[in-house]
Copies of this chain bind each other. A is one copy, B any other.
Amino acid sequence: MFSVKNRLSDAKLTGLKEVVIGDKSIPLSDVLVDLGNGALMPASQITEASPIDFPLRKAINVITKTAPLPEGKYKVKIEFKASPFGNLEIKVEDSIAKEDTNLVKIPRNDLDDYSEEAIKSRHKFIDEYVRKNVNPDFKGVNHITKYSFDPHLTQGNCEHFVGVAQVPMGIAGPLRINGEHAKGDFLIPLATAEGTLVASYNRGMKVLNMSGGVTCTVIGDAMQRAPVFCFENAREAREFHKWVQANFARIAEEAEATSSVAKLQYIDTYLSNKFAYMRFNYSTGDAAGQNMVGRATFAACSWILDAYTPGKIKNFYLESNFATDKKASQVNVMHTRGKRVVAECTIKRDVLIQIMRVEPEKLATHYHIANIGSILSGANNNGLHSANGITAMFIATGQDVANVSESSAGIMYAELTPEGDLYMSITIPSLIVATHGGGIKLATQNECLQMLGCTGRNTVNKFAEIVAGVVLAGEISLASAISSSDWVSSHEQYGRNR
């Protein structure tokens, strides 16, 4: 069975002309076509008079009634006619290999893989497999098996579900946030195993509260997918770029047809060599949106591939490492990925001295010297440890924690005011957060979002503001500890487990 997918445009299949496997042509009478609705049609019945629909992105399965092929590699050629394209020919290389019967497989239940039975069978499998193959002293799974929710809730979140990691959670705050969306005093759930983290953030929150709270603002919002189109040469790539700009409205229409939420804001093109790297920028509502923009961009690109002068696009990949998903990057720092948020506060001199035992001048000097350290080391953050607070909140609230890669970037700025107070602010240029989709609906995670009042529509910016406020609290706390040099001590006192 072979599958032919239409990536060009709506068409009609008006005839199957030849199927060759290896060097053997299969008689058309032995070829059936699977229409996708369960019906099989003899290939010979497809004619110009009685064509079958072959819409864009539809795959048609071609089945040959041949004896099972021996193992080995095969070149397969399928020739067919499709209106309005005429004769088309597809050549692929395929191979048939014996399934290794010794292959160990994780137990699955095709009917309901999230049933208690299915999960238990995997527990049993783990226990036996690990004891036999990895660790004879393995005591078996006894804790990961303890969860307080219906495992079906994790369908769509986790395949081969076996239970949960229980990550300790503490709370800090309340933190006073003067946002446009988050207004008021919030208790902050932090899931972490890092001793002193909660205490340290809590201390920073006290300083912020005593200085009137932290002002938080979302200043940018965009989620990306970045396909690349390959051409004969640079000139063709440049012409293509112009065409895409000229056809933006139509492209956006195709992209947005895939979702009620995604809006294509603009496409940034980066031309290099014979390639056109295109960063599609979307707004995605309360979702983080990586999958949403993947689908939308795929649809947009399908249309482009169909609509652009045939033969010009030599190659195409839906992703080119320009997104840049799950990676820190300069483009994200410059141009935002997810939310671009700023948290800022003018910290009162007296508060800093009283609570943190450090003068603003020492903090400012450390900031300036650490700036040179950041530049020399090529760090993506001239602040201190925003990743700590972000990660703890991400785990607590069901965010995609792998996005700490992007979200850990930061741009710190500090200056003394004429009054001797300290203005501090941090820009998080690529904070990827959601209050819809992904892990948001999970039991403990949703509870934490409710704790922040961040469930329901139009809450994602509120959540982003809270995260930013928490981050600034952590920066003040650690910067003070470093500048007053009692930093190690504070770790010593709390972090007894290490």
Contacts and interface: CB of A to CB of B under 8 A. Distances in A.
Contacts of A319: 370, 384, 482, 487
A184 B408 contact: no
A265 interface: no
Interface in A469-498: 482-483, 485-488, 491-492, 494-498
B354 A97 contact: yes
A106 B374 contact: no
A492 B156 CA distance: 9
Contacts of A408: 326-328, 402, 404-405
Given A146-B148, A169-B165, A7 B104 contact: no
Contacts of A451: 126, 130, 134-135, 138, 141
Contact of A404 (B106, B217, B402): B402
B315 A198 contact: no
Interface string A348-381: 0011011000010000011011111111111111
A172 interface: yes
A147 interface: yes
A158 B149 contact: no
A15 interface: no
A309 interface: no
Contacts of A122: 171
Nearest to A279: B377
Interface size class of A (residues with CB under 8 A): 35 or more
* A interface: dominant SS: mixed
Stoichiometry (number of copies): 4
A164 B444 contact: yes
A270 interface: yes
A196 B273 CA distance: 28
Interface string A429-451: 10000000111011111011011
Interface string A143-180: 11011110000111111111111111111111000001
Given A146-B148, A157-B168, A442-B193, A376 B277 contact: yes
Given A149-B143, A217-B235, A164 B169 contact: yes
B448 A133 contact: no
A8 to B, nearest CB: 13
B166 A159 contact: no
Contact of A379 (B271, B324, B438, B482): B324
Contacts of A96: 354
Interface in A294-324: 294-295, 298, 315-322, 324
Contact of A126 (B103, B141, B171): B171
A413 interface: yes
Interface stretch (A61-69, A78-86, A390-398): A390-398
B485 A180 contact: no
Contacts of A366: 317
A283 interface: no
B143 A148 contact: yes
A325 interface: yes
B377 A404 contact: no
A275 interface: yes
A208 interface: no
A257 interface: no
Given A104-B174, A160-B198, A395-B395, 11 more contacts: A129-B187, A144-B447, A158-B170, A193-B439, A215-B234, A234-B425, A319-B487, A365-B415, A375-B411, A387-B404, A401-B401
11 contacts: A134-B452, A144-B189, A154-B168, A164-B168, A164-B169, A193-B438, A230-B369, A315-B365, A326-B388, A328-B381, A331-B378
Q: Please name the 3 residue pairs, one residue from A and one from B, whose CB atoms are nearest each other, closest first.
A: A193-B439, A156-B497, A330-B378
